[in-house]
Amino acid sequence: MIAGKVIKVCGMRQEENIREIEALGVDWMGFIFYPHSKRYVAQPLDYLPTNVRRVGVFVDEEFATVKELIKAFKLDLVQLHGHESAHFCELIREQGVEVIKAFAIAEPEDFKATKEYETHCDYLLFDAKTPLYGGSGKQFDWSMLANYTGECPFLLSGGITPQSAEALSVISHPLLMGYDLNSGFESQPGLKESCSIRLFLTQLIQLTQ
């Protein structure tokens, strides 16, 4: 953990890049199994990280497919980014993985949707509300996090860039447990810039010491 927070890098799919980002000491790495994503993992990868937790990202996928990919990629966590029910989350947890349920946020009222999921997921993820399912590079108003009064820990996603460290360091919500890095650190979809992530992590450590 960097500065007491989980660092998740999502949208990985190239072997050399996976090794490079893994070497930075991040905690979780996300692989997207949503066919409409620019970062879609369409086939088995030649290398999977061994020193980070593997997260599979799905959008309204069939249970059988999620179950199959949990085994094929030896996933530790499953992130559900669509309209999956709380019951579906429980079914996934029964496969021996932790579940992250994502919620799109545009206004304080959007946090109400988390209530029925809190006891059926291990973590939540708050992202900006856009026509896309993540990776949009858009940021919602982080001051709205004060409106989340639930009990399930969450990751913050959406529009985080190498310049975000200072703004993130002053967020004091007690259940903020990590940051999800994606498009703001890319040279192209699915290819992360290790120098940008390294700079971000260095600044975050300095600001939170």
Active site (catalytic) residues: 10, 127
Beta bridge partners of 181: 9
Taking the alpha carbons at both ends of the chain, their separation in whole angstroms is 13
Query: Quick one: which of 76, 87, 122, 73 has its CA closest to 102?
Result: 122
Gap between the Cα atoms of 190 and 38, Å rounded: 7
Instruction: Burial-class residue 108 by CB neighbours within 10 Å (0-12, 13-18, 19+).
Output: middle
Instruction: Burial-class residue 92 by CB neighbours within 10 Å (0-12, 13-18, 19+).
Output: buried
Find all residues with CB under 8 Å of 163, minimum gap 6, and list them: none
Gap between the Cα atoms of 209 and 106, Å rounded: 31
